[in-house]
Amino acid sequence: MSNNISDIEVKTIQGQEKKLADYAGNVLLIVNVASECGLTPQYAGLEEVNALYRERGLRVLGFPSNDFGGQEPGTNAEICDFAVKRFGVTFDMFEKVQTKGAQQHPLYARLTGAFEPKEDVSWNFEKFLVNRQGEIIARFKPRVEPGSDEVINAIEKALA
């Protein structure tokens, strides 16, 4: 399986088609988000990382998912409204997706297939780092904070 996500198409949270190839030349931090999770405060950390590294070419991409404990029950409009009003999110948000199971979005099939062992996303706020060429280069478990040394060091290296 390819380790590159550039050929995958997604829909923005407003419903517009978007090719991940449009992000070529940027480093991506892709995260499955949820509004009613104990890890939801990570939205703030994601926005901080976005603000800190955006000018250097980092793009944070949020993909809402209701796969874990039904913790993202809202509509796309409600999710967007929550993220913006509660956490000041300015990074790109996308339509709700399934990260695992029979209806797994092609993006998440590619992300979870990139590393051994091949494992499903384990919970909300799992993070994947993608280099400027569209290749998946790192995976971070949900409890790893966006501003942790582990994530920041990987972002710095990818941006260098």
- Identify the CATH number of the domain in which residue 66 sits: 3.40.30.10
Residue 101: inside a domain = yes
Residue 146: inside a domain = yes
Helix (H, G, I), strand (E, B) or coil at 29: strand
Radius of gyration in angstroms for the set of CA atoms belonging to the chain, rounded to a whole number: 14
Paired tokens of 143? 């409890």
Rounded to two decimals, what is the model's pTM? 0.96
Residue 1: inside a domain = no
Residue 52: inside a domain = yes
From 8, 37, 129, 151, the catalytic residue: 37
Q: Write out the chain's pLDDT in tens, 160 residues.
A: 579 999 999 999 999 999 999 999 999 999 999 999 999 999 999 999 999 999 999 999 999 999 999 999 999 999 999 999 999 999 999 999 999 999 999 999 999 999 888 899 999 999 999 999 999 999 999 999 999 999 999 999 999 9
Residue 25: inside a domain = yes
Query: Residue 23 to residues 42, 68, 130, 141: CA-CA distances in angstroms?
Result: 23, 28, 10, 24
Residue 4: inside a domain = no
pLDDT at 116: 82
Domain that holds residue 58: 9-159
pLDDT at 2: 74
Residue 71: inside a domain = yes
pLDDT at 117: 81
Query: Total structural domains in the chain?
Result: 1
Residue 24: inside a domain = yes
Q: Is 80 annotated as catalytic?
A: no
